Amino acid sequence: MRIRRRIAAVAAVGLVAVLGVAASASPASAATYYIIQNEGSGLCLQAPPETPTDMGVQLVQEPCDWFSSPRPSCGS
């Protein structure tokens, strides 16, 4: 009988710990946008105009377009 109580107590403590961690987890943050400019050439890292939002797109260095949207993002 004591073994069952101990097992139940350990299971209860484990459940409380798991629920506590799950309840305190924060949601993923939104993507943050950056302008990445080469100091030597003055060119900016940009996505090609035909695929500005595709994942895995090959970025290029072009003259900086400070007002274009959307910009490449770092993050999820």
The rounded distance, in Å, linking the Cα atoms of 44 and 38 is 6
Contact 73, 34 (CB under 8 A): yes
> Looking at residue 45, what is its pLDDT?
87
Q: 56 vs 12, which has greater pLDDT?
A: 56
For residue range 19-57, list pLDDT tens digits in order.
665 556 666 666 677 788 999 999 998 888 777 667 788
> Looking at residue 2, what is its pLDDT?
80
The rounded distance, in Å, linking the Cα atoms of 45 and 3 is 64
> Looking at residue 41, what is its pLDDT?
92
Instruction: Mention every residue, 6+ apart, whose C-beta is less than 8 A from residue 74.
Output: 31, 32, 34
Contact 9, 30 (CB under 8 A): no
